[in-house]
Structures are given as C-alpha cells and as structure tokens.
Structure 1
C-alpha cells in the first residue's frame, strides 16, 4: 500500500506542483503597487483640482452673465426714466 501511496503523491507533485509565494515575489508586487500609486496619484490629484476649478469658473461665468443681463435691464430702465424726466421737464 505504501508504494501506491508514494506513487500517487509523486504523481500529484508532478501534475500539480506547489506554487509557493516567496518573500521576493511579494516584495516585487508591493513595490509595483507603490510605484503605480506614486505615478498615478499626481495625475488623479491634478485632474480633480482642474475639475473643481473649472466648476468654480463655470459658476462665476454664469453669475457674470446674470449680472451683465441685469446691468442691461437696469440701463434700459434708467434710460426710460431719464427720457420720461426730460419729457416731463419740457412739458412744464
């Protein structure tokens, strides 16, 4: 029986070799992850800052357009009041 068991265990070792993860392999993987993080972190950070700045700029631009339109309306109103005032002054 022991010969059969020994043959089966050797056959198992040949067909399914054990794949041990050694410290060097683990270290290479960790160094790879750190390297990728160091390379990609600034890119992600800069893209995020650009997004927030562009969002702020878009908000300010919309406020600027609104104020510009209000200024146009107020100028029209002032012109109308000025015209009425001149017409009333000439009548009296």
Structure 2
C-alpha cells in the first residue's frame, strides 16, 4: 500500500509541481497593488472633494433662499410701515 501512495505522490509531483512564491512574484504583486492604488487614489480623492463642495454649496443655497425670503418679508413690512406713516402724517 505504501508503494502505491509513494508512486501516486511522485506522479502528483510530476503532473502538478509545487510552485514556490519567489521574490519576483512578490515584487510583481506589490507593484501591481501600488499601480492600482496610484490609479484609483486620485479618482477617489476628487470624488470626495466634489461631494464635500457640493454639500457646502447646497447648504449655502438653502441659506441664500432663506435670506431672500426674509428680505422679501422685511421689504413688505417696511413698505407697510412707510405707507402707514404717510397716511397717518397726512391725517394729522
């Protein structure tokens, strides 16, 4: 039985040789990872900056709309006070 297993082990080594990880393969993998990071990092950074800037723009736009509405209300109030002032001055 042991001769059969030894023979099968030898045949397995011939058919499927064990590949060892050498320094070149490791260097290739590391360079590939660095290359992918160099390509993807600027894209991710730019998208993140665009997101934060658009969020700030949205916040400023909502504040602008609020101030515009307040300005309209204050102008109406000033016009009402001015009208009342002119009417009251002419009556007295």
Q: TM-score, normalised by structure 1?
A: 0.89
Instruction: Determine the structure 2 residue equivalent to 1:30.
Output: 30
Deviation digits for residues 18-37 of structure 1 (CA, Å, limit 9, x no counterpart): 12222111110100000110
| Displacement after TM superposition at 1:85 (Å) | 0.5
- Please give the root-mean-square deviation of Cα atoms over the aligned residues, in Å: 1.7
What 5-or-longer segments of structure 1 have no aligned partner? none
What 5-or-longer segments of structure 2 have no aligned partner? none
Deviation digits for residues 37-76 of structure 1 (CA, Å, limit 9, x no counterpart): 0111111111111110111011001000100000000000
Q: TM-score, normalised by structure 2?
A: 0.89
Distance 1:63 1:82 in 2: 28
Stretches of 4+ aligned residues off by more than 2 angstroms: 1-6, 14-17
What is the number of residues matched between the two proteins? 92
Instruction: Determine the structure 1 residue equivalent to 2:79.
Output: 79
Counting only pairs closer than 5 Å after superposition, residues 1-92 of structure 1 correspond to structure 2 as: 3-92=3-92
